[in-house]
Amino acid sequence: MSVASIALPRILRIGAGASNQLAEVLTALGLSRPLIVTDGWLLNSGRVEELSGGLAREGIAARVFAETVPDPTIASIDAGVAFLKAGAHDCVVGFGGGSPIDSAKAIALLALHGGAMADYKAPHVQDAPGLPVIAIPTTAGTGSEATRFTIITDEATDEKMLCPGLAYLPVAALVDYELTFTKPRRLTADTGIDSLTHAIEAYVSRRANPFSDGMALLAMRAIAPNLRRVCADPMDAAAREAMMLGATQAGIAFSNSSVALVHGMSRPIGAHFHVPHGLSNAMLLPAVTAWSAPAALSRYADCARAMGVADETEGDQAAVVRLVDELAALNRELDVPGPAAWGIDAARWEALVPTMCTQAAASGSPANNPRIPDTDEMAMLYAKIWAS
């Protein structure tokens, strides 16, 4: 077996109140001039003031860039880089969901290395670090606090650029489930299915390894029994804690393995039709799982058992049937719309399918899938989810 390349944040603090330890972590890392990268909602909610106020009490002055956008764009990143350069910052704190954290990673990179974001998209791998990034997630979903990737949209071409490399791995992550209590149900559902997708894809990926396998299985065991619970009762602390831990474990799993076909096909849907990332993953997950499973039946059966929808006495084929049924049931019960129900125009969808297939393949993710599709097979899967 080849050697697995494993990389983790240098500091991981996980649990209630972890975000309150930002000043202590910055001091331990020898950092003192942070730029907080966040979004308007967190700024207006008072959460950013709480974070910066805690720093101020410890004598650390922070500036705040709150102009990030969902599915960060080249323009939004360039604005963040300009804002950073106007101050003497030695690090970037990403505070929010996947979009602010991905923005923080890209801003920290370009601030030090320059160039255009398109210079860093796959297949380029950027390992030389930018400014240090400290990630504080407020959603239990992307796992971006523990991954060596960022996703930035080129608004000129509607391409979601996958940018890989150790440069994007935060040096520290403060994982505080108490920050997720105020998440609305739709965001809770979409980010939860996103993290479940990360875990499943990391486990079935052609680049899986024993380390990522362990993290992926732990993530599925944490997420599967708690996703419906947090959607039903947003103040269920035990379920929120499990979902947050599972999201981070899933992020660690796919960062040290890879995502696969669901993510490859999901990014173009998000870029062209502005569908939130977790939601576009959810649209694809049942159909892509059913199509891929024959190529890795035992691996998908392991996922069903880890999620608690099949037991050890059942054969792999029966377990995989239960897995696909469960993924479809999750979508129904959590009100996941198909592309048509989301409001996407049928003619525009059909016209863009060839472009989406090309962009999915170019990201490299479909090549990690246990069953590797050609363009016609991806087009068939896009047609299948349209009809679902």
Tens digits of residue pLDDT in 112-158: 999 999 999 989 999 999 999 999 999 998 899 999 999 999 999 88
Tokens of 235: 């103040």
Q: Across residues 90-112, what is the average pLDDT?
A: 97
pLDDT score at 2: 84
Report CA 152 to chain centroid distance, whole Å.
12
Given a cut of 70, whether residue 88 has pLDDT beyond it is: yes
pLDDT score at 230: 96
pLDDT score at 160: 87
The predicted-structure confidence for 326-380, as pLDDT tens digits, reads as follows: 999 999 999 999 999 999 999 999 999 999 999 999 989 999 999 999 999 999 9
pTM of the model: 0.95
Q: Across residues 6-33, what is the average pLDDT?
A: 97
Euclidean distance between CA atoms 78 and 52, whole angstroms = 23
What are the angstrom distances between the C-alpha of 191 and each of 249, 285, 380? 14, 13, 26
Q: For residue 183, what pLDDT band results from cuts at 50, 70 and 90?
A: confident
What are the angstrom distances between the C-alpha of 89 and each of 61, 80, 85, 211, 276? 10, 12, 8, 35, 31
Task: Say what percent of the chain tops pLDDT 70.
Answer: 100
Residue by residue, DSSP assigns 93-153 as EEEESHHHHHHHHHHHHHHHH-S-GGGG-TT----S--S-EEEEESSSS--GGG-SEEEEE
Specify the residue for token string 């209590």: 181
**Element holding 319 (H helix, E strand):** helix 316-333
Question: Taking all residues of the chain, what is their mean pLDDT, rounded to a whole number?
Answer: 96
Q: Across residues 14-19, what is the average pLDDT?
A: 97
Residue 160 or residue 212, greater confidence? 212
Q: For residue 249, what pLDDT band results from cuts at 50, 70 and 90?
A: very high
Strands (E) across the chain are located at: 11-14, 34-37, 63-65, 91-96, 133-137, 149-154, 159-164, 172-175
pLDDT score at 1: 55
Closest listed residue to residue 319, CA positions, set 332, 306, 328, 329: 306
